[in-house]
Chains A and B, each alone.
Chain A
Amino acid sequence: MTLVGSGILLLFFGAIMAIIIPAILIWIAVRAVGFIFSVVGMGTKTIRFGGGSLIRFVKGMLNDVVSLLSGLISAALALVLGLTNIMILRGKAVKHYFTAVEDESVAVVQCAYRLAIGHPLRLFGMGPALSNIERRLPAMITGPSGTRRGTSQVPTSGSEGDGFEGYRILSQLPTGGSGALLHVARPTSEKADELRARGIAVPERVVIKAFSLVTGSTLPQIVRESRALEAAGRLGLVLEHRLDESAFHYVMPFVAGVTLDVTAAKLHEHSGNEGLGAADLNNAICHSRDLARILGHFHSEGLWHKDIKPSNLIVGPAGLHVVDLGLVTPLASAMTLTTHGTEYYRDPELVRLAMKGVKVHQVDGAKFDIYGSGAVLYTLLENSFPAHGSLSRFNLPSPRALQFVVRKAMAEMDSRYEAAGHMAQDLEFLLASEDLWSVQPAQLPSYRGTLPAPEDVSHRAPSNHQAPYHTPGGTDWVEVVSKHTDAGPATSAAHAAGWSSPPISPRRSLNRNSRRRRRRGVAKSLALAGLGVLSAVFYLALFTQAFHQKNLASDLGTNPMHEPSTARPSNQRVMPQIVMPQYEMPRNGVGSPGLRSEGEYRTPQLDDPDGTGSIGDGIFQPSLLQVLSALPHQSSVLVAGPNTSYASTLREELIQAGLLAVALDTSISVETRREWMAGVQVQLGSGLLSDEGARVRVIAWQQVSAPELDALIWVTGDDPVRAEVIHFEDASDH
C-alpha cells in the first residue's frame, strides 16, 4: 500500500518536474540571450521589443523569399502564355496575361525592396520613418498635383493632427456601403475648446467619416453626403466638416450601443412562437415611439432620412438613436428622386416615382420615412423583415392595435400617417393603456381623428435632442442621433419629445365625458337592463319549448325540420338544435366544435363516446357527432359554406381532433375540393340545406358530379353560425 502510495507520489512529482524543468530551462535560455544582448549594449528593453522585431524580420524575409520566387515563376508562365496567345491572335487573352505579368512584376519588385531594404531597416528600428515614406511616396507619384496632404491619406491609429487636424485617431471602423473610411477619434483640448466656443457640446469620442477621390470615393458620393450637412449641423448630427477638391470628411459624435435588429433578436430570444411578452412589448413600442419622434424632428428641420431600417437604429444607454446620414436629403431638394434605400424597408412607391423621374420636392419624403418606421415596428414584433411589403402577415401573436399601427404606417401614401408625430401619439396611447391587448384600432387617436394637424406636430422637436453618437455596432458602422435622458431606453423617451401631449389612457379618455353624458348613459343602461329582463323571460320560454321538441323527436324517432334562422331576431341567443340534418353552432365558442372566438380556444367536443353529448357549458350536438361517427373512416366530407372562416376553422379542428379524415382527406385534391365547393354553391346559392328544394338539388348534384362525396357540412350565417350536415348515403335512401 505504502509502495503504491509512494509510486503515485513519485509519478505526481515526476510529472510536475517534467513541466517545471523545461520551463526553467526555457526561462534560463531567454535570460541568457537577454544577457548576451545586454552585453553587446542593446539593453533589456531592446531585447523585449527586439525579440519581436527579430521574429517579424525572419518571418517577413521567409515570406518574401517565397513570394519572390513564386512571383517570378508566375510572371514567367504568364509571359509564355501571353506570347503564345499573340501567336494565335487571341487579343483579350493576351491583354489578360500581360496584365498578369505586370501585376506579378510589381509584386516581385516589392518583395525585392522589402528583402533588401524594408526588413533590414525595420529590424534596426526605422519602421515608422519607413512607413511614412512608403505611404506618401506612392500617393505623391500617383496622386493629382495639388492634393492636400492631410485629407488624402489614411491616418493611422494614434496619429494626431495627421489626417484630421484637432483629432487624435484612436481606431478604424469597418467601412459601410458608402466606401468611406471611418475613424474613431478624440478631439484635442484645443479642438474641444474651439467647439465649445461655438456652442457645440463636445463628446469624448467622435467618428470621422472621410471620403477621398484618392482612396476610391466618387464625386457623386461626396456630393450626396455633403448636400444635407448644413441641416444636419443644425440638428446636432454633425460637429464640423471640411471639403476640398479631392476629399471630404465630417465629424460626428460617437455613441456605443447595439443595432435594433440585434435588440429585436434579443427581445424574441425567450418568447419563441408566443410573441413578445408584456415587458418586451412595452420596450418595442418605446423604441418605435422614439423613432417616430426623432423622425418628426428630422422632418420639421426639412430633412428626410431615406434609409430607416433596424441596422441604422442604435439602442444605447440613453435611448434610441437614428444613424447613417449617407442618404439624408432635404425635403425641398430640387434633385431627381433616386431609388437609394434598403429593400423591404423602402416603400416600393418610392422606386416607382424615382423611375418616373420625379423631383424630390414633388413628393412627401417624410411619408417614406414613416413607411420605414412601420417596417421597423413589424421587425420588432416579428423578428423578421416584412418580406411581403404592406401585405405582410403577422405570424406571432401581437396586439391588434399595434398591428394596425404597422399597417397604417405602411399603407398607401394617401392613407398613411400624415406625420411621424401622429404615429408616435398612437404608440404613446398604447403605452398608456392598461391592457394593450384589449385596445381596438378604432380607439387609437389617429382613427378617432383626435390628432393635431401635421404642421402642429412636426414643428415641435424633442426638447432634449442632442448630438449624434457612434458605435461599431457589429459589422457595420453607424452615426447616431442621441437623446440625453436620465432614464433607461424603455422610459427615457417619454420625456424626450416636446410636442406630444401627456399620455392618455383609453380609460381616461373615455372618462372625459361630461356629467351630462354620463347621466344619459345611466338612463340608457337602465332601459337596456329592463329590456334584458324581458328578453330573458322570452328566451326561457323558447328554451323550454325546444326541449319539449327534442324529447318528442327522440320519442318518435323523427327529424322535425328546424325553422330557418332568419325567422329569429339577429341578436337572439342561439338554442341548441339537435335535429337532423342540420345544426346551429352558437358563437362565443360555447360548445362549438373547436371554434375560436374572442381569442378563446375550445377543444372539439365530438369525441363523446356514448353520443349523448353534454349540456351545461357546452351545447349538445349529438347529430353532428352521430353523422361523423356513422361515416366510415377516411370518408370524404366537404366542409364548406358562405362562412368561410368558420368552415376552414371547423375543418382544421375536425382533422386535428383525429376523429375522421373529414373534408380534406389527402387523397382529395384541392382542385376537386374547389369543384365540389363551387358545385354546392351553385346549387345552394345563399340558401340553406334546410330548404327542401335546395337539399334535393344538392343530393342530385352529388349523385351526378360528386358520387365519392359522403357528406356535407354546410356552414353559414355569422351570428349565429349555423352548421347543417347532410349524409348523402342516408339522404339518398330517403
Chain B
Amino acid sequence: MHDLTTNFVSRLRARDPEAWFELWETFGPILRAQLARWGRGRIGPETVADLSQETLAALSGAIDRHDPSKGARFSTWLLAIAKYTLSDEMDKRYAQKRGSGVKPLSLSAQDDDGPRFDVEGGERPDEEYESLVFEAKVDAALRQVERSVGFEDFEAFRQRVLEGQKGKAVAEALGASEATISRRASRAREALRAALGDVFSKYSFTDEDWAELPRNGLELNPKKGLDASFDEAVAEIWLRASRRRQQGQRS
C-alpha cells in the first residue's frame, strides 16, 4: 500500500478534521446517490442526507478496526459501511414500528459476519457505483488543482480542455495570447497529474484501484505526446460526471 494511503488512514484514525472533511467532500455525494438508489421508496432525501453523515460517522468508528492489508478495495469497503448503515436504519424503523425490541445490529457485527449486503441484500458494488467512485476521485483532483493553481490558469484549462473550446476563442475570452493560454492550460494539466497521483494514493488500497487511472486514459507519466489523450480523457470524465449529477438532480 502506498505511503500516502497509510498516512491518510492514520490521519483518519487520529480524527484529523481536515482528513475527514476531504473524505466527506469527496465521497459524500456518492454515498447519498447510492443510498438514494437503495432506499428508493423507503426513505426520503432528508434521511439520505442524514444517513450519509451517519455513514461517515460509522466510518469513523470502523476505521480503527479496518486493516487495509486485507486486500479489499477502498470503494468496496466504503460501500459495505454505507449499506450497513442503511440496514441499521431500516432495522431501527421496523423495531420502532413493531415495538418488538429488536436490537439494531451494531457495526461490530459487520466485522464478525462480513458486510451484510453481501449476505442478505445481494447488492454488490456494481459498475455504476465503481464509476461514481472513480469520477469522485477525479473530481477531487480537479478541485485540488482549482485550489492550487491560479484562477486564470484553471479558467484556461477549464475552457480549453474541459469545455473543449478553441485556443483562439479562449484567448479572446481571457484577453491573452493563444500561447499564454496554452502555457496556462499546460501548468494546470501538470498540476492535475500530480493531484491525481495524490488523490489515488489516498483512496486506493489495492493495485486494482490504481489500475483505474491508465484504464480510463489518465496516464500520469508526463509524456508530451500523450497530453492530448490525457486531456480528452479528463474532459470525458468531467462531462460524464456532470451529466450523472444532472440526472441525479432530475431524479
**Residues on A facing B (Cβ under 8 Å):** 85, 90, 92-93, 96-97, 100, 343, 348, 351-352, 355-357, 384-385, 387-393, 395, 400, 404, 407-408, 411-412, 415, 440-443, 447, 587, 597-598, 640-649, 671, 674, 677-678, 681-682, 684-686, 718-719
Complex Cα spacing A92 to B96, Å: 11
Given the known inter-chain contacts A387-B248, A440-B173, please indicate yes or no for A719 contacting B168, CB distance below 8 A.
yes
Interchain CA distance A569-B215 in the complex, whole Å: 39
CA distance A442 to B171 in the complex (A): 9
11 more A-B residue pairs beyond the given contacts A387-B246, A677-B232, with a C-beta to C-beta distance below 8 A: A100-B99, A391-B142, A393-B163, A393-B239, A442-B172, A640-B229, A642-B227, A646-B166, A647-B232, A648-B235, A681-B225
Tell me how far the C-beta of B48 lies from the nearest C-beta in chain A, rounded to whole angstroms.
Answer: 12
Question: B224: which A residues are within 8 A, CB to CB?
Answer: 685-686
Q: In the complex, which of the residues A352, A415, A681, A718 contacts B150, with contact meaning CB atoms closer than 8 Å?
A: A415
| Pairwise interchain contact B18-A356, C-beta atoms closer than 8 A | yes
9 A-B pairs with C-beta separation under 8 A: A351-B25, A357-B17, A384-B246, A442-B172, A442-B173, A587-B168, A678-B217, A682-B225, A719-B167
* Nearest B-chain residue to A395, judged by Cβ: B246
B74 within 8 A of A: no
Nearest CB in chain B to that of A649: its residue: B164
Q: Which of B17, B224, B228 has the most CB of A within 10 A?
A: B228
* Given the contacts A391-B143, A645-B165, A682-B225, A93 and B246 also touching, CB distance less than 8 Å: no
Interface string of B1-39 (1 = CB under 8 A from A): 000000000000000011011001100010000000000
Min CB distance, B127 to chain A, in Å? 13
Chain B residue with Cβ nearest A385: B249
User: What separation, in Å, do the CA atoms of A348 and B24 have in the docked complex?
Assistant: 10
B139 at the interface (CB under 8 A from A): yes
Q: A441-B174, A718-B167 are in contact. Are A677 and B17 (CB under 8 A)?
A: no
A393 to B153, CA, bound (A): 18
Chain B residues with CB under 8 A of A387: 29, 245-246, 248-249
CB atoms of A597 and B166 under 8 A apart: yes
Q: Which residues of A contact B242 (CB under 8 A)?
A: 388, 391-393, 395
Q: Is the CB of B146 within 8 A of A390?
A: yes
Q: Contact check, A412 vs B151: say whether CB atoms are below 8 A apart.
A: yes
Q: Contacting B143 at CB < 8 Å: which of A90, A389, A587?
A: A389
* B88 touches A (CB below 8 Å): no
Q: Is B175 an interface residue (CB 8 A)?
A: yes
Shortest Cβ distance from residue B238 to the other chain A in the assembled complex, whole angstroms: 7
**Which residues does chain A contribute within 8 Å of B18, judged by CB atoms?**
352, 355-356
Binary per-residue interface labels of chain B (69-89) against chain A in the complex, 1 for a CB within 8 Å, 0 otherwise: 000000000000000000000
CB of B146 within 8 A of CB of A412, answer yes
Chain B hits for A719, CB < 8 A: 167-168, 178
B42 interfacial by beta-carbon distance below 8 Å: no
When distances are taken between beta carbons in the complex, the residues of chain B under 8 Å from A641 are 228
CB distance from A621 to the nearest CB of B (A): 20
Is there an interface contact between A388 and B228, defined as CB atoms closer than 8 Å? no
Instruction: Give every chain B residue within 8 A of A682 (Cβ-Cβ).
Output: 223, 225-226
Chain A residue with the shortest CB-CB distance to B28: A343
Q: Are A356 and B17 in contact (CB under 8 A)?
A: yes
Cβ contacts under 8 Å, B21 to chain A: 351-352, 355
Tell me if B231 counts as interface (CB < 8 A to partner A).
Answer: yes
- Contacting pair B175 A440 (CB below 8 A): yes
Give Cα A343–Cα B46 distance, bound, in whole angstroms: 12
Residues of A within 8 A of B164 (CB): 644-645, 648-649
Q: Which of B195-234 contact A (CB under 8 A)?
A: 215-217, 219, 223-229, 231-233
How far is A719 from B170 in the complex, measured between Cα atoms in Å? 13
Q: Number of contacts between A and B (CB, 8 Å)?
A: 138
The DSSP consensus for interface residues of chain B is: helix
CB of B99 within 8 A of CB of A93, answer yes
In the bound assembly, the distance between CA atoms of A85 and B101 in angstroms comes to: 10
Would you give the shortest CB distance from A609 to chain B, in whole angstroms?
31
With A and B bound together, what is the CA distance between A674 and B175 in angstroms? 34
Q: Are the C-beta atoms of B229 and A681 separated by less than 8 Å?
A: yes
Who on chain B is nearest to A386 by CB?
B245
**Residues in A neighbouring B219, C-beta threshold 8 A:** 678
Q: Mark B122-144, 1 if CB is under 8 A from A, else 0.
A: 00000000000000000100110
- B194 an interface residue at 8 Å Cβ cutoff? no
Residues of chain B within 8 A of A92, CB atoms compared: 101, 103
- Please state if B228 and A642 are interface contacts (CB–CB under 8 Å): yes
Chain A residue at minimum C-beta to C-beta distance from B25: A348
Contact check, B178 vs A718: say whether CB atoms are below 8 A apart.
yes
Q: Please, which residues of chain A bring their CB within 8 A of the CB of B150?
A: 415
Partner of B101, one of A93, A443, A684: A93
Give which listed residue, A407, A597, A648, A685, contacts B155 with CB less than 8 A. Answer: A407
Q: Which residue from chain B places its CB closest to the CB of A343 in the assembled complex? A: B49
Whether B239 pairs with A718 at a CB distance below 8 angstroms is no
Residue B57 at the A interface, CB < 8 A?
no
Docked-complex contact A90 and B101, CB < 8 angstroms: yes
The answer, yes or no, to whether B169 is at the interface (CB within 8 Å) is yes
Whether A678 lies near B20 (C-beta < 8 A) is no
Closest 8 CB pairs of A and B: A442-B175, A415-B151, A645-B164, A93-B101, A355-B17, A393-B242, A387-B245, A642-B228
Question: In the assembled complex, how far is the CB of residue A680 from the closest CB belonging to chain B, in whole angstroms?
Answer: 9
B101 touches A96 (CB 8 A): yes
Min CB–CB distance B70 → chain A (angstroms): 28
What is the CA–CA distance of A404 and B228 in the complex, to the nearest angstrom? Answer: 25
> CA of A309 to CA of B239 in the docked complex: distance in angstroms?
26
| A344 CB → nearest B CB, Å | 10
Q: Report the bound CA distance from A440 to B27 in whole Å.
A: 36
B238 & A393 in contact (Cβ 8 Å cutoff):
yes
Are B217's CB and A674's CB within 8 A? yes
Contacts of A97 in B (CB 8 A): 99
Please report the C-alpha to C-alpha distance between residue A408 and residue B238 in the assembled complex, in whole angstroms: 20
Q: Contact between A391 and B228 (Cβ–Cβ < 8 Å)?
A: no
Partner of A685, one of B139, B225, B245: B225
Q: Which residue of A lies closest to B32 (CB)?
A: A343
By a CB distance below 8 angstroms, the chain B residues around A598 are 169
B241 close to chain A: CB less than 8 A: yes
- Could you tell me the distance in whole angstroms from the C-beta of A336 to the nearest C-beta in chain B? 12
A348-B25, A355-B18, A415-B150 known; A400+B228 contact, CB < 8 A: no
Q: Which of A90, A387, A408 has the most CB of B within 10 A?
A: A387
CB-nearest residue of chain B relative to A644? B232
Chain A residues, Cβ within 8 Å of B233: 674
